[in-house]
Structure 1
Amino acid sequence: MALEPVLRGDEIRGLREGHALVLADNLPPIITRLDGMWTWESWAEIEGHVHDLRAANEVERSRQAIEKKNQPRTHAAAWAGREGAVGMTIPLAHFGPFPEPPALILDYIAKRSAEGSVVDGPAPYDLGALSAELIEPMPAWLDSVCRWLNGRYAWQPQDVIPPCWAKHEGLAYEIAALAFARGDAYAEAGKAVIWHEQYDRFLTRMNKSLGKAGDECRVGRHEDRPSRFQLAAWPGPAEEGTKGPETAERVKEMAG
């Protein structure tokens, strides 16, 4: 921590005649008037003045020592006063629960994980593999998940999941995986800590993926995929069972 002077050199030199800056141990600095000893009536008066100064100094030392000794009690009283001001309200009561997955999805998970189950469908977080019936309730639920995550973890602007998350397929897949993983993670405290570490990594990947476009997306101005021109260079998929001329040429080039 940088130390700041009590007075600058020019300020000290600018003190009125007969005055001085006094620094004594850990006492607050003061500016005092200097009386010449020849102005005092007797040596006894001088001794009495010195005695008074030393007594005042000792009183101040004692006050500071008592204050330091009582500091823990003072802090405890401050916390008690804060609790009294809060009253019957609990400070953490506004921490809303994590959004519950749709009933249809919970039923699907239960059937899929049941012993001897004949349901052999995709994992519920594999969005592109879900049936139309299962995917239907997912956008609304994942949107509520994003709102919940933003409300709890997005303290800095770059931590905000953009409202157009569904237009970023990579984000949608990761958000779905994080949402389902959270339920399993909170079965144990250690796993919950690991989930938070994974969430922090997700934020890093999200910002890397969004790049500069993330600033616009976060304020509701979604930008088209920056790599759309590079992706457009890929030829369209060939018809089933055939190879178009562009695809055949690319295969030839890759084969050397």
Structure 2
Amino acid sequence: MKNKIRIAAAVVCLAVVVFGIISVVKDKKELTLATNEYDNIRSTYADLQAHGSAGDSENDGYPDLAVDIEGLEKTNPDITAWIYMPCLEISYPVVKEKEIDEYLNKTFEGQESYAGSLFEDVLSDENFCGMHDMIFGHNMKDGSMFGKLKEVYSSKKADILKENPYVYIYTRDTVYRYEAFAYEITTAGSDAYSEVNDNDEYDRFIDYVLSNNQWGSGKEKTFENRPSILSLSTCSGVTGGKKRFVIHTFKESQKEVR
């Protein structure tokens, strides 16, 4: 009986080890697939050298970036924009989910990967003209997707957002420039994810954000004109946990795409 128990235990342990190895190999394969896919998309549809520089244009303060949204639409009609955050070198297509978590484990080209996509939730405005729009992305260990957002509160790079607080959203016709003014470590389902549809809800949301702002050197900003808010959200802490890290930005300016 004891021998049978030992054999059974050994079999279970072996199965656990084999399952773990298979999971690691699968995860690595999916990550490589996603990395190659987004590198190819970036090089094909988002030209950082369009005007000879990857930095801000000397003429208007916007990055020298040309994005082929029409070309991207042929691959995935769910695309709504391209996001570019220079200080963290975040540069990806953004899709809008039609159902909850549709793109949580699906790449832009529709392949299965735990890297998923950067996506707007079902309640956000696809034209980025809502009172509060949101983009979600995984906190990848290799820094891809929204994995670099954690650098904002890193002791080694505490001033990275202060030095360049801008997020650029490229749509078919317009480039929107957002400026970060607050961030917080919160939990899934908190008021950081509030749906905002009228002025009263907007004012309550801003009061919440400013009251929970953890950016010690955050920008002082008044919101009488109620500019559109864009929040960037990713996981924080243990994988599968409820902690979230959110950066809140407001629409500072815009220009038409030529």
TM-score over 0.5 (shorter chain) = no
User: Greater relative contact order: 1 or 2 (C-alpha under 8 angstroms, separation 6 or more)?
Assistant: 2
The structure that is helix-richer by fraction is: 1
Q: Given the two structures, how large is their TM-score scaled by the length of structure 1?
A: 0.30
Q: Which has the larger radius of gyration?
A: 1
Q: If each structure's strand is expressed as a fraction of its own residues, which one has the higher value?
A: 2
**TM-score, normalised to structure 2's length?**
0.29
